[in-house]
Structure 1
């Protein structure tokens, strides 16, 4: 049994010394890029949001927090996708066919998910135009409540009874 483990360690050690180190560097780099981007996005959004358009500091902070969450989430998805593709390439998976398949799947989802895309664009305009923010009380189709979460796709409300919609 120990010979089997020894042979396994001897066979995998050269691979780990070359590819494992590169994968570790990719993971660490993605982590630090996400961390620094969060700080950069936070500072940039807080600097660019014009404070004269808001009735109170609380309203301004809600707007900033909403924008920061949207931009940070989008950036994180992009960074993680790039890191995943780099790791796949490092372990020997040809990413050309993966990207081609993703493009074809994107076209299929694009045609099939026109309503989803419409909702995403509508959600983006809701956020950009500052129609409502986290903490505001709104009514949609007879359901009223406090806005708990806003994403490009969905708004989460909590009504007076504590029910989440």
Structure 2
């Protein structure tokens, strides 16, 4: 019981003597970290030339990605340095720790090749501007919006809300669906009795009306238009419609285009064929059942 009391007394004395130092280091580190974040934000905003991207939104996504990664990196360095300063202020010799950390780093280097690979690949992703926070990308079998990036991992959220954390070293091919612009790509089926020239006029007219609509004009770069007859099926001609829109607006514009096409096809008597199934109900008579 007496030894426990001595331990408690020793701890209390240590806290009284060093609490001010701990608190001071914590406050200074917090202030420096926030000041550094502000400096990083200003530097990155000035580094990227204005007008170097197709839209202000693309420019902002690039800046936000660089800012977030830089802040995370320098934030870790600042807090590690603060921890070492705190140990030194408390009288703990840090030279053996640094020596041990170096030896440990060499040892971990042989077993952490995947970590080094993740970081190097992360640097290339950022330097080459392959994708940014806010982009819609497909990485392997995963498809979604980039919600976060570090030098080691990319955070990807699917449409259903599922979040995937993908190590950068495992990203072999990244398909960016929202780099600079997106495309509306629609296939419509029409009956074989439809005249192609008339079909083209109706589709182009609907696309132009959509482009001229103030509610959708700011989403569209080039009006959706008839591109070609893409294929023939058993009961339909397949026509392809293409249009250029601003990043991530293809789903909104495509949905509205389909809705207006349905109405226009009804007005112009353009048939949208559909498969039918004929069911034959064969009934057996009593004489057949007895045989």
What SS is found at the alignment partner of 1:152? coil
* Structure ID, larger Rg: 2
Maintained 8 Å contact 2:72/2:150: no
**Alignment partners' CA distance in 2, 1:40 and 1:129:** 23
Higher relative contact order (CA 8 A, sep 6+): 1
Structure 2: where are the runs of 5+ without partners?
Answer: 165-291
**Alignment partners' CA distance in 2, 1:113 and 1:39:** 33
Q: Residue 97 of structure 1: CA displacement? A: 0.9
What SS is found at the alignment partner of 1:134? coil
What SS is found at the alignment partner of 1:147? strand
Q: Mapping of 1:11-30 within 5 angstroms?
A: 12=13, 16=16, 19-30=18-29
User: Residue in 1 aligned with 2:75?
Assistant: 76
**Alignment partners' CA distance in 1, 2:79 and 2:100:** 18
**Alignment partners' CA distance in 1, 2:53 and 2:83:** 41
What SS is found at the alignment partner of 2:155? strand
* Structure 1 moving runs of 4+ over 4 Å: none
What SS is found at the alignment partner of 1:52? coil
User: Residue in 1 aligned with 2:62?
Assistant: 63
**Alignment partners' CA distance in 1, 2:142 and 2:27:** 45
User: Residue in 2 aligned with 1:109?
Assistant: 108
Q: Deviations over 1:78-130 (max 9, x none)?
A: 11111111111222221111111111111111111112101111011101221
**Alignment partners' CA distance in 2, 1:12 and 1:42:** 43
How many residues align? The count is 158
**Alignment partners' CA distance in 2, 1:20 and 1:164:** 41
What SS is found at the alignment partner of 1:148? strand
Maintained 8 Å contact 2:137/2:146: yes
1:141 matched to 2:140? The reply is yes
Q: Mapping of 1:15-54 within 5 angstroms?
A: 16=16, 19-54=18-53
Two-structure CA RMSD over aligned residues (Å): 2.3
User: Residue in 1 aligned with 2:190?
Assistant: none
**Alignment partners' CA distance in 1, 2:143 and 2:99:** 44
What SS is found at the alignment partner of 1:31? helix
Structure 1: where are the runs of 5+ without partners?
Answer: none
The structure in which a higher percent of residues are helix is: 1
User: Residue in 2 aligned with 1:163?
Assistant: 162
Q: Please, what TM-score do these two structures have when normalized by structure 1?
A: 0.85
The structure in which a higher percent of residues are strand is: 2
